[in-house]
A and B are shown apart, each in its own frame.
Chain A
Amino acid sequence: MSNATLEKGINSFVKMIDAPIASFFSSCVSCGMCADACLFYQETGDVKYTPIAKLEPLRRAWEQEYTLFGRLKKLLGLSKKITNEELKQHTELVYNSCTMCARCSMVCPVGNDIAYMIRKMREGMAAGGFAPAGLIGASNRAVEIGSPMGLTLHALSAQIKHAEKATGITINLDKSDVEYMVLLSSMELINFPEYLEAIAKIFKQAGKTWTISSTAFEATNSGIQIGSSDIARILVKRIVDSAEKLKVKTVISPECGHAFTAIRYEGPNLIGRKYNFEVKHILEVLDSFNEAGLLPTEGLEKEKLTFHDPCSLARKGGVIDEPRRLLKKVSDNFTEMTDHGARNWCCGGGGGASAIEEGEPLRLKAFKTKQKQIEETEATTLVTACANCRIVLEEGVEHYNMDMPIVGLTELLAEHLVDKPKQKLKKEAKQ
């Protein structure tokens, strides 16, 4: 990296620092408890994975720019400079070995939100050219093609056609004035196309109108993973423009956890205004259908189930009770892992980590905690609600020779859906 790009990275660090970050750095007492909450430290015992230590360049940028003593030291040439070499080393620490799962933020005794700072630090890393190749590729594809995985409209149309054939339900692209605009993640369409079929069936049963936008079907946001607000803004703007053009009331985020936080919580701040529509996670929508009696299911799962909370959905998204209410509709044999809900352990692939090929061995190692917690439940089927978690879990389960199918919650519900006309259901409800 040249000095010019390094400068860009450091400037971006400085720009990112706000009052919360200054209060966090001012409060750290080097207790290192964040390490014990981190899956990467937990399974490797390597101190370099201590979450707060990953932020050292950002901390120095703060100290040198925004504290009296730091400035004095800088003036006298006594401060340690941020170098190319140092930031290069931090690529592994800030991306490969951090999923921004925020477990560390949860345990810090002084209350430092470390994941919040990692998110900001990535802005500087990306600006300085220190982001991993895998994420750069994904971001470029997201901007140019509309999907980080290169899923074109042509491919989407093929998937829609497939789902229409499988369900006998017509799926409308770009239909305006409907209630919901459904967003998808490339991961779902590519690895679990059943998700789209499940949505079609459930919405038909619930009698709700919906559409998919041909210009903004992708919900995942590589800009947020790599740490580029500029890219993130472009991707959010696409969705907002489409939703407003189609005049929908609600935009539905797919199961994918980070896609949800991106559009739900970061989105308005990226475009600088509130939306004219609501954003809901698919499980929130299904839960509301359920509450309104629009999600009739029959039969119970034979297997013993447990649920993996995607971090972005639970700890970072607040969707915790919904999946449990929905699961209990189709199972009377559901058991929780030791750490669940807001305290869950990350699968190891969030925050863009799974797109970094060279990070795979570390990821698999870090999966061990999850493995132990899954095995302790003695469940025979693992349910989750994020296509990325699902793939990472599949890899982990395979790596550790566990015999355990992994299913998506939305699809699971669709399998139990009662296919009955509405009037008949109403009649039954009255009886």
Chain B
Amino acid sequence: MKTITNDKQFKATIDELSSLQNRKLATLFLQNVMGLTDKKKYQQLLTLASNKNATEQEYANLQTAIQTMVVETNARCGTDTDWAAQAEHFVAKSALSCVKDANRSNQNSAYDSAMYARMACNFASIADGKSDEQAETQAQYQILIQFLGDK
């Protein structure tokens, strides 16, 4: 079984995956940070991800909705930052990586999703002092290993 202990290995391993595998993996990373947001918001995405026959069109439709979530949760210049809301913003960004067109510049969607998920944890830690980006990173390594095993 492959071991992954640092980001260099993590990224190199993801680089070798196809765009569809990238999308699957991206969704797994997203699922792991669902605790930072209202899971219901992403129910449609999670359902779609579990459907093997999902079409690109369905993903494209969802992309618009998630893009709106990303924009709506943006922190505006000069406003008092709500760190927990900012964590949700990055969860939305992670979700956006999961629905990007697999035929278009999508090679690193899993890596992007992972990074945004970590940022979400980081913001959550500013908000609650409990969340731990380091733990999330380790969890992501495990998710990737598991994913490769299941492949």
Contact = CB atoms under 8 A, between A and B. Distances in A.
A and B touch in the complex (CB under 8 A): yes
Interface of A: 134-135, 137-138, 141, 148-151, 154-155, 158-159, 161-162, 165-166, 168, 186-187, 190-191, 193, 220, 222, 225, 302-303, 349, 352, 354-355, 357, 387-388, 391, 394-395, 398, 401
B93 to A, nearest CB: 10
Given A149-B75, A149-B78, A187-B75, 16 more contacts: A148-B78, A149-B79, A150-B81, A155-B81, A158-B122, A187-B77, A190-B75, A302-B105, A349-B77, A354-B76, A355-B77, A355-B79, A388-B77, A394-B70, A394-B74, A401-B64
B76 to A, nearest CB: 6
Interface string B49-86: 00000000000000010011011001111111101001
Contact of A168 (B7, B70, B77): B7
Q: Is the interface of A mostly helix, strand, loop or mixed?
A: helix
B78 A162 contact: no
Given A155-B83, A155-B126, A303-B105, A162 B75 contact: no
A151 B86 CA distance: 12
B134 A222 contact: no
B4 interface: no
Given A134-B78, A151-B81, A395 B137 contact: no
B37 interface: no
Contact of B86 (A162, A190, A225, A401): A190
B15 interface: no
A206 to B, nearest CB: 21
B143 interface: no
Given A162-B119, A162-B133, A166-B115, A398 B75 contact: no
A355 B75 CA distance: 10
Contacts of B118: 162, 166
A186 B125 CA distance: 17
Contact of B74 (A141, A148, A302, A395): A395
Nearest to A226: B78
A388 B71 CA distance: 13
Contacts of A302: 105
Nearest to B80: A150
A166 B112 CA distance: 12
A247 B134 CA distance: 34
B33 to A, nearest CB: 14
